[in-house]
Amino acid sequence: MLVLYNFDEIIDRCNTGSFKWHYTDETIPLWVADMDFKAAQPILAAIEQVTQHGILGYTVPTEPLYQAIIDWHGSRYDLWLDQQDILFSPGVVPSLVLMMKVFTEVGDAVLINDPIYTPFMTKVLDNDRKLVTSALQEVEGRYHLDLVDIEAKIIEHKVKLYLFCNPHNPGGRVWTADELEALLFICKKHDVAIVSDEIHQDLTLSGHTFTPFLTLAKDYEHKVVNLTSMTKTFNIAGIKGSMIFAKDSGLLSKINQQQRLSDEHELNLFAYTAMRSAYEQGDEWLAQALTYIEANIDLTLQFLEEHLPKIKVMRPEASYLIWLDCSAYAQDDQMLYDKLRAAKVELSAGIKYGGEGHLKMRLNVACPKALLIEGLNRMQTALNSDVFNIVDSI
Ligand SMILES: Cc1ncc(COP(=O)(O)O)c(C=O)c1O
């Protein structure tokens, strides 16, 4: 039966412990990658069924869960996994740390791009690895990999591991198979392991094709790992849970051994339940959510063109996050962020994603249209005015 979801519904999230809605005033949050949409009905029903059953004991992944994961990735992305290729992890960020332990030692160099989702930087540094960055090149409003720089940095720093993000956060690029092949060629040549964070895979927008890194790895499978999750796709990040995919048995057992050192190989009952129902029955919700998100992206681009024409916008190829170059409206990162906060709208400060994020902001449009329009109006007020109030720092 077709369920028509109402993404226009505004649901009060204040005082629920929401990380996104942390305010005591009327601020509109257009920052962290969390959507203001109710989750898919089959996921909510599956969780309800568990609570109705009333037994919340120790749980292990079941055959139907594995099958749901296999079918989703095979049918959508031609990534055909066997059950033994799939491991579970509490989150993609914990898996990034795990992979550093699998592929590197303290002091080894780890390569990332700039800009990049913040934990790529912080976790490398927190785990006493050497952080090496390669800036993405912006050409006609799209980021590109600088392959010459990447290879030079790999050689110079003896890089052991490349933490890669596909689709890219915050730039929204869905890297093409050709781009991935070129990267793979360089990594193979220098024996660099690749861990590809693909958490935004299912949010690929129309006109673009997502390619899982693992589908290209062939004779390099002992050095390639995909990380992904249902949490971003289905807006259930509060449940926590993710997957690790690899196709080499030696590598898989190494990862598994590392996980078992801290007993981090299991998810909880609600995560397994949500994951299975999402992959079995969530496609209808996802299709409708993506249609709504694309309309919000169009609306935002049109609004910015009319009212804040000096913002340079990077149209996302995946996700609901729009990368904005606001350099025409500010000279200072903190002032830019504060100016928007003073107008009661919060975006993510670009500088948090690396030096390339200087004077940029990341805008999340996955919310009811009415909230988005109000947020955009506040952005217009903030950036077109000279009034400036000091508020909380970033
Ligand atoms: C690229 C990327 N990786 C990982 C995460 C977080 O993953 P998790 O909550 O599973 O740790 C996010 C969240 O926004 C993200 O954008």
Measure the CA–CA gap between 317 and 172, rounded to whole angstroms: 5
Provide mean pLDDT across the span 133-162.
98
pLDDT of 237-259, one tens digit each?
Answer: 999 999 999 999 999 999 999 99
Of all atoms in ligand 1, which is nearest to the CA of residue 229? 10
Identify the residue whose C-alpha is closest to ligand 1 atom 9. 91
**pLDDT (0 to 100) of residue 388:** 44
Q: Give the 3-state secondary structure of residue 307.
A: helix
Q: Which of 19, 92, 196 to mutate for ligand 1's pocket (most ligand atoms within 8 Å of CB)? A: 92
Question: What integer best gives the mean pLDDT of the chain?
Answer: 96
Residue 135: partners with Cβ closer than 8 Å, 6 or more residues away: 113, 114, 146, 149, 355, 356
Provide mean pLDDT across the span 169-192.
98
Band (pLDDT 50/70/90 cuts) for residue 392 is very low
**pLDDT (0 to 100) of residue 145:** 98
How far does the centroid of ligand 1 lie from the alpha carbon of residue 354, in Å?
A: 16
Report the residue count for the chain. 394
Of all atoms in ligand 1, which is nearest to the CA of residue 237? 9
**pLDDT (0 to 100) of residue 1:** 67
Higher pLDDT, residue 357 or 392: 357
**pLDDT (0 to 100) of residue 391:** 40
Sign of the torsion angle spanned by Cα atoms 267, 273, 279, 284? negative
Q: CA Rg, the chain, in Å?
A: 21
Of all atoms in ligand 1, which is nearest to the CA of residue 95? 11
The finding on whether 169 has its CB within 6 A of some atom of ligand 1 is yes
CATH of domain 58-281: 3.40.640.10
Residue 57 token pair: 């004991």
**pLDDT (0 to 100) of residue 389:** 40
The finding on whether 239 has its CB within 6 A of some atom of ligand 1 is no
Sign of the torsion angle spanned by Cα atoms 167, 96, 347, 24? positive
How far does the centroid of ligand 1 lie from the alpha carbon of residue 384, in Å?
A: 33
Provide mean pLDDT across the span 174-187.
98
Q: Where are the domains of the chain?
A: 58-281
pLDDT of 361-384, one tens digit each?
Answer: 999 999 999 999 999 999 999 999
List beta partners, residue 142: 139
Buried b (16+ CB within 10 A) or exposed e, 13-47: eeeeebebbeeeeebbbbbbbbbbbebbbbbeebb
How far does the centroid of ligand 1 lie from the alpha carbon of residue 389, in Å?
A: 32
How far does the centroid of ligand 1 lie from the alpha carbon of residue 93, in Å?
A: 6
Give which of 77, 71, 112, 108 is closest to 195, Cα–Cα: 112
**Contact of 367 with 12, CB cutoff 8 Å:** no
Higher pLDDT, residue 223 or 3: 223
Q: Which of 93, 348, 364 to mutate for ligand 1's pocket (most ligand atoms within 8 Å of CB)? A: 93
Measure the CA–CA gap between 175 and 317, rounded to whole angstroms: 9
Measure the CA–CA gap between 88 and 90, rounded to whole angstroms: 7
How far does the centroid of ligand 1 lie from the alpha carbon of residue 126, in Å?
A: 17
Higher pLDDT, residue 350 or 2: 350
Of all atoms in ligand 1, which is nearest to the CA of residue 94? 11
How far does the centroid of ligand 1 lie from the alpha carbon of residue 92, in Å?
A: 6
pLDDT of 305-333, one tens digit each?
Answer: 999 999 999 999 999 999 999 999 999 99
- Determine what percent of the chain is predicted with pLDDT higher than 70: 97
pLDDT of 256-295, one tens digit each?
Answer: 999 999 999 999 999 999 999 999 999 999 999 999 999 9
